[in-house]
Amino acid sequence: MLFLDHYSSLTISYLTPLVKAAQSAKKGALMRFRKEGIEYEVYYFVGDSFFTFTWDYQGKHYRQRIRFIEEPSHLRGIVRFFVCPATGKKCLKVYLGRKSIFTRYAVRHVYSYQHLSHNSRIFATTRNPGRRNGKQKYGGKITRYGKRIGRYRKKLSKINNYIICLFDRKRINIDKKI
């Protein structure tokens, strides 16, 4: 199974300076960047509707074209999207593998925490579900956000108590055998 959180990603907004440089030069432009020890080169030529990625990995040279489309924004200007080579869907992010570049639609967009049980997800995420600016109480009343944090803390304390009870039982069993 391929987990997306083990791959580095590239958003299309990262390539906006490349497009602008190519348009100002009225020819083409090249951008180089390094991710996870692999140096990638991206070529864009004015009038083309794709980016050409090239990179070397374990002595082999790889080259892949990723199409993009431009659509008018509902605010101003245009918005660029990558087009998934496998499904043809629009997306803003591609994942950089060692031998290929792909989108989340091509690999069933699976993250590793989706295979954990519900209780294990609480321990797998290092972040607290709380927000930086969330208020647990407003005007002396508990908010919806406060209720959610309360449920999270109750669930965490139940699991902690369960683990402590299991650990105590194992310690008791060990003491009885000796």
| Domain range summary for the chain, segments of one domain joined by + | 4-112, 117-177
Residues with Cβ < 8 Å from 58, sequence gap 6 or more?
Answer: 98
Residue type, 159: I
pLDDT score at 105: 78
**pLDDT of 75-107, one tens digit each?**
888 899 999 888 888 999 988 888 888 888 777
Torsion angle in degrees (nearest 10) through CA of 105, 110, 111, 114: 140
In this prediction, residues 133-154 reach a mean pLDDT of: 84
Half-sphere exposure at residue 129, Cβ-oriented, CA atoms within 13 angstroms: 16
Phi-psi region of 153 (alpha: psi -120 to 50; beta: other; left: phi over 0): alpha
Provide the strand spans (E) within 46-77: 50-57, 60-72
28 versus 105: the higher-pLDDT residue is: 28
**Angle (nearest 5°) at CA 65 between 59 and 70:** 150
Tokens standing for 46?
């004015």
**Of 2-6, 31-35, 64-68, the least confident:** 2-6
pLDDT, position 172: 47
Partnered with residue 75 across adjacent β-strands are: none
Which of 17-26, 96-105, 132-141 bottoms out in mean pLDDT, i.e. has the lowest?
A: 132-141
Give the mean model confidence (pLDDT) for residues 104-129. Answer: 64
Instruction: Write out the two tokens for 163.
Output: 């683990």
Asked whether residue 21 carries a pLDDT value surpassing 70, the answer given is: yes
